[in-house]
A and B are shown apart, each in its own frame.
Chain A
Amino acid sequence: MIPVLIGTLLALVALAFVLYPLFSGNMALIPQSHSSGSDIQISKVDALREIEFDHATGKLSESDYGKLKASYTAQALAEMREAQSDACPACGSPREAEALFCSQCGIRLGA
Chain B
Amino acid sequence: MQILFYYLLFNLAFFGDVANDPAHEAWQGRSAARQFECERISQAKAHEKYPGVVPAPHPRAATLYEIDAMVCDRFVVEAGRRSAQKEAILQNLHADIDELVAVASAPKTIALNTDPNAERKSVRFKVDAFYPDLVMTQKIANAAKVALAERGHQVSDATWQLTAGDIEVFRSMHMRDALPLACKRAYRLKSLADDEVFVALALLHEKESQLHVGTCQRGVFQWLR
A interacts with B: no
Chain A residues near B (Cβ < 8 Å): none
